[in-house]
Amino acid sequence: MKFHVITAMYNVEEWIEENIQSLKDQTFTDFQVVLVDDQSTDDTVKLVRAAIAGDDRFHLIVNQEKKFKTRNVVEAIEAANPSDNDVIVMVDGDDRLAHKDVLKKLAAVYRENDPWMTYGSFGDSQGVRDEGCRPYKSSIIKSNRFRQSKWIAYHLKTFKYKLWRKLDMDIFQVTEREVKQALKRSLLRLQFRRWYQWKNIRAAELHDVSGRYIKRVDDKAFSYPMLEMSGDRACFIEEVLYIFRAERNPYKGPDQNYGKNRSEKWHTRLIREILCHKKPYQRLEKL
């Protein structure tokens, strides 16, 4: 088993050196890192190149076109070229691992418990554990109702590549019909502000230029079906392994990629609403 750390980046010059150092400090050393930059306008790429120089475990991809988070993650995983039983570790460019033994801890969990995926506990920049980190209740797991429950599949997210290969890539798409259904639900629930913000959004706007990948909410898009397939083989880790910068603002200035006067927030909320109403995956007996 080898770890493949996937790091998507956009304008993270303030934090990326700390991110990379947290990986270099790991006592478990059988890992590689794929960093993908999505056309940052600051010094992110320059700092990454300097930080990883001479360490062949780190690989940098610099996009020549804007791809957004979801496509970056999908293509970076494939670029890592993992084996089926290797483990993918998701670490955002503006976050970091909590301490030097994180990968050692993960290796022990996969060796002793044989999970298909893990989720867990994160802390703030001071290391204080978020109070919302907890495992899913057995009733939710048994009924396979992850999409209808409060989202708690938090960082640190990891999964076996073999589980990833069970996904149909259409999970990263939304259709015009699904957008219309979300609008109808918002009216039935008397959520008029949502309806107003969503009424002029078309499905095509929610995807990158390829039309194959939604721009945001990549973690929920793949985590819901992975949780559904895994059931009890999804392992919650109590210990804080991840530092999440809740105070950060990685997207400096207006995000023109959504068009003039378009709100990234409402696009993201619409995608999230649609993901919560997609058909759940069936539980797997084995990988």
Tens of pLDDT, residues 1-11: 899 999 999 99
User: What is the CA 70 to chain-centroid distance, rounded?
Assistant: 8
- 236 neighbors 119 (Cβ within 8 angstroms): yes
User: 73 vs 94, 123, 163, 199, CA distance in Å?
Assistant: 15, 23, 15, 29
pLDDT the model gives residue 250? 41
pLDDT score for 169: 95
| Inter-residue contact 34 to 76 (CB < 8 Å) | yes
On the question of pLDDT at 94 being above 80, the answer is yes
How many helical (H) and strand (E) elements, i.e. helices and strands, does the chain have?
10, 8
Helix/strand/coil (H, E, C) string of 72-109? HHHHHHHHHCCCCCCEEEECCCCCEECCCCHHHHHHHH
Residues 227-233: what's their mean pLDDT? 98
242 contacts 156 by C-beta, under 8 angstroms: yes
Q: What is the pLDDT of residues 259-281, one digit of tens each?
A: 444 567 899 999 999 999 999 99
Calculate mean pLDDT across residues 36-57. Answer: 97
**How far is residue 23 from each of residues 35, 87, 141, measured CA to CA in Å?**
12, 15, 32
pTM: 0.92
Q: What is the pLDDT of residues 101-117, one digit of tens each?
A: 999 999 999 999 999 99
At 263 the pLDDT is: 62
Helices (H), 81-191: 102-113, 138-143, 161-164, 176-188
What domains sit in the chain, N to C, each tagged with a CATH number?
3-169+229-256 (3.90.550.10)
User: Is the pLDDT confidence value at 190 over 60?
Assistant: yes
Q: Which residue has the higher pLDDT, 253 or 54?
A: 54
Q: What is the pLDDT of residues 130-170, one digit of tens each?
A: 999 999 999 999 999 999 999 999 999 999 999 999 999 99
Per-residue pLDDT, 125: 84
Chain segment 31-44, per-residue pLDDT in tens: 999 999 999 999 99
Listed residue (203, 216, 207) closest to 175, CA to CA: 203
pLDDT at 286 over 60: yes
Q: Which residue has the tokens 């699904």?
A: 178
